[in-house]
Amino acid sequence: MRLVFLGAPGAGKGTQAAKVVDEFGLVHVATGDLLRAEVAAKSELGVKARAFMDAGRLVPDDLVVSMLTARVAEDDCKSGFLLDGFPRTLPQAEELDRALVDHPVTRSLFFEVSDEQIVGRITGRRTCSECGAAYHVSAHPPKVEGVCDRCGKALIQRQDDREELVKERLAIFRDQTSAVVRYYKDKNMVTTIDADRSVEAISVEVHEILRGLA
Ligand SMILES: [Zn+2]
């Protein structure tokens, strides 16, 4: 099975991916992790990507595509993989299809979630400034507001998780990814999942879909 999970940042696709990869024997390929690994390994692509990241710019399509297509061509991906966070743009989707011409994507799952849900999920995140423990003001609050249960230090909100920035990222995402979703829809390759529901409810549906494909 070769899967693509699509959805806005905060839609919960990474959480769902982690729940199914072992069961279905898939390699979980998350773009962000792969990018960080390449940069850390100082590979040729990693060094190039680093220059863009250091300049505060997005890593260009062709670089991201080269990394992803090289990764899915590795032996461990032969039994199947799950792409999480890729393709993000229409050119990336087209390039991926060219790279996978002999083993095309089996299905893409689109985790559709309302802006209000995403803004709530992301802006409510808090992290311990000392030990890194993660909380959420409503879904997983600490016993004492603003204080870490584990070590008693102050909880902070990541700069990136502020409402204005979340809304900005969402607007960019909608712009780019709606084209990717349309692309897969035209090929009858996308299943849309209502991701405004609980993690458990979504997980049940994802399992059903994947069992139908396996
Ligand atoms: Zn702590």
pLDDT at residue 32 tops 90? no
Separation CA 112–CA 13 (nearest Å) = 10
Distances (CA, A) of 94 to 127, 143, 184: 38, 48, 10
Residue 169 is among the residues annotated as catalytic for this protein: yes
**What tens digit of pLDDT does each residue of 11-27 get?**
888 889 999 999 999 99
The predicted pLDDT at position 181 comes to 94
Catalytic residue among 2, 121, 125, 126: 125
Token pair, residue 91, equals 């050119």
Token pair, residue 58, equals 């997005």
Output phi, psi for 80, to 5 deg. Answer: 135, 155
* Average pLDDT of every residue of the chain: 91
Q: How many CB atoms lie within 10 A of CB 67?
A: 23
Give buried/exposed letters for 8-18 (b at 16+ CB in 10 A, else e): bbbbbbbebbe
Catalytic residue among 71, 88, 107, 126: 88
- Strand 155-156, strand 107-112: pairing: unpaired
- Strand 2-7, strand 27-30: pairing: unpaired
Structural contact between residues 195 and 11, judged by C-beta atoms closer than 8 angstroms: yes
For ligand 1, the distance from its centroid to the CA atom of residue 154, given in whole angstroms, is 7
The predicted pLDDT at position 41 comes to 93
For ligand 1, the distance from its centroid to the CA atom of residue 126, given in whole angstroms, is 11
Token pair, residue 168, equals 């900005």
For ligand 1, the distance from its centroid to the CA atom of residue 203, given in whole angstroms, is 29
pLDDT at residue 199 tops 80? yes
**What tens digit of pLDDT does each residue of 40-77 get?**
999 998 999 999 888 877 788 888 988 998 899 899 99
Catalytic residue among 78, 153, 158, 211: 158
The predicted pLDDT at position 109 comes to 96
The predicted pLDDT at position 124 comes to 92
Handedness of CA 188, 190, 191, 193 (dihedral sign): negative
| Complete domains list, the chain, with CATH | 2-114+169-213 (3.40.50.300)
The predicted pLDDT at position 166 comes to 86
Neighbours of ion ligand 1 (CB under 5 A): 128, 130-131, 133, 148, 150-151, 153
The predicted pLDDT at position 48 comes to 92
Residue 174 is among the residues annotated as catalytic for this protein: no
Residue 158 is among the residues annotated as catalytic for this protein: yes
The predicted pLDDT at position 27 comes to 95
Residue 78 is which amino acid?
Answer: K
For ligand 1, the distance from its centroid to the CA atom of residue 127, given in whole angstroms, is 8
Token pair, residue 40, equals 């850390």
Residue 174 is which amino acid?
Answer: R
Omega of the bond leading into 9 within 30 degrees of 0 (cis): no
Segment 73-96 shows an average pLDDT of: 91
What is the three-class DSSP state of 192? strand
Segment 171-185 shows an average pLDDT of: 90
The predicted pLDDT at position 2 comes to 95
H/E segment holding residue 123: helix 115-123
For ligand 1, the distance from its centroid to the CA atom of residue 166, given in whole angstroms, is 25
Residue 13 is among the residues annotated as catalytic for this protein: yes
The predicted pLDDT at position 168 comes to 86
Structural contact between residues 114 and 80, judged by C-beta atoms closer than 8 angstroms: no
- Strand 81-84, strand 134-136: pairing: unpaired
For ligand 1, the distance from its centroid to the CA atom of residue 105, given in whole angstroms, is 42
Residue 182 is among the residues annotated as catalytic for this protein: no
Least confident of 58-72, 123-137, 147-161, 183-197: 58-72
